[in-house]
Amino acid sequence: MTSFIDIPSGSDFPIQNLPYGVFVPPGSDRPRPGTAIGTMVVDLCALEAEGLLETDVFQTSTLNQFMESGRPTWTLVRTSLQALLSGEDPRLKEDAALRRRTLHRQQDVRMVLPASIGDYTDFYSSREHATNVGTMFRDPENALPPNWLHLPVGYHGRASSVVVSGTEVRRPNGQTKPGEGPPIFGPSRLLDFELELGFFTGPGNGLGNPIPISQARDHIFGFVLVNDWSARDIQKWEYVPLGPFLAKNFATSISPWIVTLDALEPFRCAGPHQHDPEPLPYLQSKRDSSWDIGLEVAIQPPERDEEEIVCRSNFRHMYWNVCQQLAHHTVGGCNTNPGDLMASGTISGPDKGSFGSMLEITWRGQHPVKMFDGSERKFIQDGDTVIVRGAAEKDGLRIGFGEVRGKVLPAHSV
């Protein structure tokens, strides 16, 4: 399928993708739902008002209502958009005035959070990452916690500090304990990124009514890139006994475009074997419940246009898949709502080049990364911009996520 809209070679957003986001058009202050194709944004609110989508879910400033509508509506909208943008349905292609009202250049719009996020959960689902962290901080012979191979470990994060790509991130203050003496207060010195992929929930489940793993896919609206910023020194001191707190709640950056499961269907693949031990029955899923999505992280130093790629990884490395995560999250009766965000946890592969955090890449700062300008990085410095990108590619088809970027500002004086 091709579009009458020009799509540059190698674009993240061909007509086979059509991710969803929320944008503010030029000369307006009202956010509205849209989709991306090539270098353009298509105004879904305007298309719906013209009667071209046969829906009533886009006259809002978020995607929550669309998320809640469920898979039949998601399929209807995708099919209608592909028909309109290919010219098979000629109403958009042949109406120049309508195109002027509904098509905007991406460089001219401002992207905002795609949903009103009521709850945010972060998992810990990469075996390689969990093993690396356990080796560094616990017993190398028993790096994984006893529960790790039996359930998707996670914690409830801070929804209010989830921010869209381009939002600057302030280095957090907190308590750290650098040696044998008492704790001290001040800016985190070990600020880190975490390479993650997150999914937004669609239709929710009622309190006390779990989502069976066989139905989990129908409750997953789509994926975004996630950088779950972490203050490692604050985390080390505070996390016992209840887990992350100030080390995680200051910012979580996400990409603005949500890529749907339908767009990623050609890239489904098997995840790691889960046979020793086998998951309990409520967590047993099909092997092809992962996706072959390439990911990378780059650091751009202050006042420079060049960047250093410090990580290349892949979502297929994740041990616990998203269906298992959602089934486990709700099995005790927890309710979810449209627009809830759930992140994968750090995505690390089997070798150093695929580790998804500076903590692992530099092995607690022992092996600094050498940058193109001759400087070194043990962790993220003030003024650095961290950029996460991702795309699935096969047989000439590229389904991309765009990017999520965030520049680090110095900590506030307290």
Q: Read out DSSP for 266-297?
A: GGEE------TTPPPGGG---TT-EE--EEEE
**Residue bearing tokens 């999914």:** 199
Asked if the model's pLDDT at residue 288 lies above 90, the reply is no
User: Given a cut of 90, is residue 100 above it in pLDDT?
Assistant: yes
Over residues 239-252, the mean pLDDT reads 95
User: Two tokens at 41?
Assistant: 């944004």
2 sits in the region (left: phi over 0; alpha: psi -120 to 50; else beta) called beta
Round to whole Å and give the CA distance between 137 and 350.
19
For residue 138, name the pLDDT band (cuts at 50, 70, 90).
confident
Q: In whole angstroms, how far apart are CA 154 and each of 79, 242, 388? A: 36, 12, 22
What is d(CA 217, CA 306) in angstroms, rounded to the nearest whole number?
Answer: 39
Neighbours of 393 (CB within 10 A): 14
- Alpha carbon 372 to chain centroid, angstroms: 27
Rounded CA gap, 392 and 401, in Å?
9
Domain with CATH 3.90.850.10 in the chain: 120-409
Q: Which residue has the tokens 């810990």?
A: 124
**Mean of all residue pLDDT scores within the chain:** 97
Of 3.40.630.10, 3.90.850.10, 3.65.10.10, 1.25.40.80, which CATH number belongs to 120-409? 3.90.850.10
Collect all residues with Cβ–Cβ distance below 8 Å to 41 and sequence separation of at least 6. Answer: 21, 23, 34, 35, 103, 104, 105, 106, 109
pLDDT at 179 (0 to 100)? 87
Question: What integer is the mean pLDDT of 319-331?
Answer: 98
The verdict on domain 20-112 having CATH code 3.90.1300.10 is no
Question: Residue range 308-331: average pLDDT?
Answer: 98
Which pLDDT value is given to residue 33? 98
Encode pLDDT of 139-186 as tens digits. 888 999 999 999 999 999 999 999 999 999 999 999 999 888 999 999
Rounded CA separation 69/71 (Å): 7
Contact 18, 75 (CB under 8 A): no
Give the residue-averaged pLDDT of 321-347: 98
Q: What is the pLDDT of residue 15?
A: 98
What gap in Å lies between CA 176 and CA 179, rounded to an integer? 9
Residues 338 and 201 sit within 8 Å (Cβ to Cβ): yes
Cα distance between residue 374 and residue 362, in whole Å: 16
> What does the alpha-carbon distance between residue 103 and residue 95 come to, in Å, rounded to a whole number?
12
Work out the end-to-end distance of the chain between its first and last CA atoms, rounded to an integer number of angstroms. Answer: 57
As annotated, the residues of the chain forming the CATH 2.30.30.230 domain(s) are 20-112
Beta bridge partners of 199: 223, 342
Asked if the peptide bond before residue 277 counts as cis, ω within 30 degrees of 0, the response is: yes
Closest by alpha carbon to 21, among 55, 156, 13, 29?
A: 13
Tell me the C-alpha distance between 247 and 251, whole Å.
Answer: 9
% the chain with pLDDT above 90: 96
Joined together, the tokens standing for residue 231 give 């203050």
For the four alpha carbons of 332, 235, 171 and 183, in that order, the dihedral sign comes to positive
Instruction: Give catalytic status of residue 129 as yes or no.
Output: yes
Candidates 320, 300, 285, 257; CA nearest to 112 is 257
The strand pairing partners of 103, in sequence order, are: 42
At residue 287 the predicted structure's pLDDT band, cuts being 50, 70 and 90, is: confident
Residue pair 136/236 in contact (Cβ under 8 Å)? The answer is: no
Rounded distance between C-alpha atoms, residue 227 and residue 389, angstroms: 10
One of 129, 317, 328, 329 is an active-site residue; which one? 129
**For the chain, how are helix, strand and coil distributed in percent, rounded to 5?**
25, 30, 50
pLDDT tier at 334 (50, 70, 90 boundaries)? Answer: very high
- The model's pLDDT over 9-32, given as tens digits with 9 standing for 90+, comes to 999 999 999 999 999 999 999 999
**pLDDT in the model for residue 210:** 98
385 has a pLDDT exceeding 90: yes
Mean predicted confidence (pLDDT) in 295-300:
98
The span from the CA of 315 to the CA of 319, in Å, is: 10
Query: Where residue 286 falls among pLDDT bands split at 50, 70, 90?
Result: confident
Coil, strand or helix at 221: strand
pLDDT tens, position by position, 50-98? 999 999 999 999 999 999 999 999 999 999 999 999 999 999 999 999 9
364-379 CB burial, b ≥16 within 10 A, e <16:
eeeeebebeeeeebbb
